[in-house]
Structures are given as structure tokens and as C-alpha cells.
């Protein structure tokens, strides 16, 4: 079956623009995670969904970041008024439960100019 997919793979935004990043998890996976990975660093937790419920958003760096998973499958991470420090790779991962193997998508590389 298909793995986790993300789109777009690359996004260039001008400072101040809004962006939306999409994640298609593995079908049937209950848990969905978003991470931010800066160059040369480990993935940093942003938020966690169990089905459609956002159970942890403690990693979102500011109120400019918003995530949703309205039907418990596809998820969207939205960043409003992008800033240069938002430049990173945004990874999505899904799993059966939160303490289980996470399957990562290829990531979206966001560059804010």
C-alpha cells in the first residue's frame, strides 16, 4: 500500500505569506504527528492528532501555526504570515498508536525569503 505522502514537496514563500502543507497518512492510522526539522537537527515535535482530535499542540511555536485533521485522515498544517525562521523541513508521520512505529512522509521543504 501507499506510504505517507506530503505536498507540496517544496514551497518558497515571501515573508508575510500564508502557506498550507498537506499530509496524507497511511490509511487506517489513528495517530498523526507533525514535526519541524531544521538543517542538521532532529525532528522537533509540533502537534499530535488521534483521529480528528488534536490532543497535543504544545510544540507549535506560535499562534501563527495551526493544524487540523477534520475527518481523521488528511491533515493540513497552516502557517500564517511566514517568517524567515519558519524555513525548515516539515515532516508528517502516522502510526497505529502514539507509542508505535511512526511512518514518515518525505517532508515539505519550506523556504521563506
Partner 1 sequence: GENVEQHPSTLSVQEGDSAVIKCTYSDSASNYFPWYKQELGKRPQLIIDIRSNVGEKKDQRIAVTLNKTAKHFSLHITETQPEDSAVYFCAASYTGGFKTIFGAGTRLFVKA
The residues that touch partner 1, with contacts defined as CB under 8 A, are 33, 35, 40-45, 48, 50, 55-56, 58-59, 91, 98-107
36 to 1, 27, 32, 43, 45: CA distances (angstroms) = 26, 23, 14, 6, 7
Minimum separation from the CB atom of position 16 to partner 1 (A): 29
Minimum separation from the CB atom of position 104 to partner 1 (A): 4
Minimum separation from the CB atom of position 33 to partner 1 (A): 7
Minimum separation from the CB atom of position 107 to partner 1 (A): 6
Take residue 42 and report the three cell numbers written for it.
532532529
Q: How far apart are the C-alpha atoms of 60 and 56, rounded to whole Å?
A: 9
H, E, C per residue of 39-57: CCCCCEEEEEEECCEEEEC
Amino acid at each position: 500500500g501507499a506510504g505517507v505522502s506530503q505536498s507540496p514537496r517544496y514551497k518558497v514563500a515571501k515573508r508575510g505569506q500564508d502557506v498550507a502543507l498537506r499530509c496524507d497518512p497511511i490509511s487506517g492510522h489513528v495517530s498523526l504527528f507533525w514535526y519541524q526539522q531544521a538543517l542538521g537537527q532532529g525532528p522537533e515535535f509540533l502537534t499530535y492528532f488521534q483521529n480528528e482530535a488534536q490532543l497535543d499542540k504544545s510544540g507549535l511555536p506560535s499562534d501563527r501555526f495551526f493544524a487540523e485533521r477534520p475527518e481523521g485522515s488528511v491533515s493540513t498544517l497552516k502557517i500564517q504570515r511566514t517568517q524567515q525562521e519558519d524555513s525548515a523541513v516539515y515532516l508528517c508521520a502516522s502510526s497505529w498508536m502514539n507509542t508505535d512505529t511512526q511512518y514518515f512522509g518525505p517532508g515539505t521543504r519550506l523556504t521563506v525569503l
